[in-house]
Structure 1
Amino acid sequence: MSLSRDPQELLAIAAELLDGVHDRFVSGVGAPSAVHKGPDDFATAVDLELEKRLTGELRDRTGIDVHGEEFGGPDLGSGPIWVLDPIDGTFNYSAGLPTAGILLALLDAGVPVLGLTWLPLVGRRYAAIADGPLLESGRPLPRLSRSSLASSIVGMGAFNIDSHGRIPGSYRLKVLAQLSRVSSRIRIHGSIGVDLAFTAAGILGGAVVFGHNAWDNAAGVALVRAAGGVVTDLAGDPWTIDSGSVLAGAPGVHGEILDILGSLGDPRSGLEEGHAQ
C-alpha cells in the first residue's frame, strides 16, 4: 500500500488530534509508574490512555494503522503507518520536568514523510512534511544555516557509566568528554523528541541520540530533514528505521560531531569480552 492521501491533509488531521489531547497531557503531569517495562523504564497510566485514544482517532480519521510504543502494531516497514510515542521523556513527565512531549510520525515504506512533536509543557508544537518547511505552532521557520560546533548547544542522550548494553556507558562518556573539548554547552534533556525538535528549530546545533526505537526517532528525523539539517546514525550511515542511533545537526555541526565520533572507534571495542550484550 502506498500513500494515497494528501500529506498536507494528513498533517492537519494529526495536528488537530494532538491538540485534542493537550489538556489531558498537562493534567496528567506527575503520574506514577503503572507498567514496569525493564531496568530504568516504565509507562504511566497516561501513556496507555493517550496511546489508546490517539490510535483509535488516527485510524478513524485517516484510515491508516498505528504502531505505538506501548501496544505495538503492524510492521514499520509496511505501507503507510503512523508511529506514536504518547509520552516521550516519561521519567521527566512523572517527575514534573517540562521536557516531555508527544511524538508522531507517518512512515511510508519505512521512510518518515510527516513528523509532529508536541511539547505541551513548554508551549511548543513542531510539525513538517518531509520536504519542509518546518512549522512551529503553524509558523514556518527558516531553514538551518551552516554553523560550527564551538558556537552550538548540543543535546546528548543519557548514560549510566556502568552500562554494558548496546552502546555502553564508557563510550557515551568518551563522547561527552570529546564533545566538551569543542563545545562547553552540552545538554542532557532526557527526551529524544526534545533534542531532535530543538535541533530542527535551530535551538540546538546538533543532537547525539543513542536510542534506536522508531517511535522515539522518526518524528524528529522528519523535522530535522524538513528544516535542512543532516541526519545519519552515529557511524555516518544514512538513517533508517532500523538504525541503532541518530546523529542530527545543522550543516557543519553534524560533520564536526561525526569526525569526533569517528575518532573514538567502535563503541563496543573497550568492553571486556564477558560483558558484551
Structure 2
Amino acid sequence: MTDLAELLGIARDVLDGASSRFVEGVGAPSAVQKGRNDFATEVDLELERTISRQLSECTGIPVHGEEFGGPQLLTGTSWVLDPIDGTFNYSAGHPLSGMLLALVQEGVPVLGLTWLPGLGQRYAAAVGGPVYLNGQPLPRLEPSKLSAAMIGFGSFNIDGAGRVPGIFRFNLLGALSRLSGRVRMHGSTGIDLAYTASGILGGAVVFGHHPWDNAAGVAMVRAAGGVVTDLLGREWTIESGSVLAAAPGVHEELLDLISETADRVRGEVEQ
C-alpha cells in the first residue's frame, strides 16, 4: 500500500482541485432534506461524487461519504469524506465552512485534512504530527489553562432530546461561560477541531457523533499532541457519540466541568 506521506500528498491534490468548485457554489440552496434542520445542497452531492471518484482512482481505497455512505469503518482502510462541513453556513454565504477528509485504518484516523477555501486555510496532518497549515508545520500544543483559552462549542436547541439533551448543553454552556468568557460557536465541527489542533482554540466540545464530521479533526488534534476523548472521558473511537478535544490541561478542566454539570442536571431532574 502507498505510505501515509504519499496518501497525504494525493489527498491534498484532490482537495486543492475541488476548492474552486467549492468556492463557486457558496450560497447554494437546500436540495435534499435529510431531517429536521439538516439538508444537503447540490454542491454537496457533486463534490462528494468528484472527490470520491478521484480518491478511489488514485489510491484504490474506498470512500465513505456523508451523502452516499460507503464501507464500514471498523476494519480495513477507508477514506471518510464530508464534502461540505458547515452546510448552513455555506448555503447562507458564510465563509466558515469547509471540506473534511480522513483516512481511517481499522477504525483509527491516521490522516486528517480540513480545507477551508473561504478562508484560504488548508490544515493537514498524519499520525505522529506535525500539523501543517498551508504547507507549513505548526508547533505542538503546550499545556494551558481553561481560563486563558477560547473554546469551540457545538450548536444546540434547548428543547432538543437525543443522546446529549439540549438542556444539558445549555447548562454546560452557562457553566463554561463562568470559567472562560471566550466561548465560540462556529457552526462547523471541522473548524472547531482544526482550530484546536492549531492552537487557535484551547479546546472543542462536539456533541455530534458522525465519523465524517469528527475523524479528520481527531487525527489532527492527536497529531498536535492534544487530548481527545468523548464527553465522559473515554478514549475516542470511530463509534463514539461525542468528542472532547483540547490542549493538555484544558482537557482535564473541561472534563471536570462536564462531570459537575451532569451531576447538577441529574440532581435537578430527580428533585
Answer whether TM exceeds 0.5 for this pair.
Answer: yes
Match of 2:193 among 191, 196, 200: 196
Counterpart of 2:56, as a letter, is R
Q: Following superposition of structure 1 onto structure 2, how do residues 69-148 of structure 1 map, counting pairs within 5 Å?
A: 69-148=66-145
- Is residue 2:174 matched to residue 1:163? no
Aligned amino acid, residue 245 of structure 2: A
CA distance in 1, matches of 2:265, 2:180: 25
Give the CA deviation at 1:272.
7.4
Q: Which runs of 5+ in 2 are unaligned?
A: none
- Report the Cα distance in structure 2 between the residues aligned to 1:114 and 1:267, rounded to whole angstroms: 38
Q: CA RMSD in A?
A: 1.5
Q: In proportion to residue count, which structure has more helix?
A: 2
What amino acid sits opposite 1:61 in the alignment? Answer: C
Q: Residue 148 of structure 2 corresponds to which residue in structure 1?
A: 151
Alpha-carbon spacing, 1:97–1:78, altered in 2? closer, same or farther (3 Å): same
Deviation readout 1:227-277 (Å, 9 max, x if unpaired): 11100000000000000000000111111100100112269847979xxxx
* Cα distance change, pair 27–270 in 1 and its aligned pair in 2 (3 A): farther
Give how far 1:193 is off.
0.1
Tell me the residue number matched to 1:215: 212
- 1:256 is aligned to 253
Deviation at 1:78, TM superposition (A): 2.1
Report whether the alignment pairs 1:26 with 2:23.
Answer: yes
C-alpha distance in 2, partners of 1:271/1:211?
A: 25
1:265 matches 2:233: no
The percent of aligned pairs where both chains have the same amino acid is 64
The secondary structure found in structure 2 opposite 1:37 is: strand
CA 1:205/1:78 → structure 2, altered by over 3 Å: closer, same or farther? same
Paired positions, count:
270
Can you give the 5+ residue segments of structure 1 that lack an aligned partner in the other structure? none
**In structure 1, the residue corresponding to 2:180 is in which secondary structure?**
coil
* Structure 1 CA distance for aligned equivalents of residues 263 and 137 of structure 2: 39
SS of corresponding position for 2:64: strand
Q: TM-score, normalised by structure 2?
A: 0.97
CA distance in 2 between counterparts of 1:17 and 1:157 reads 29
Q: What TM-score does the superposition give when structure 1 sets the normalisation length?
A: 0.95
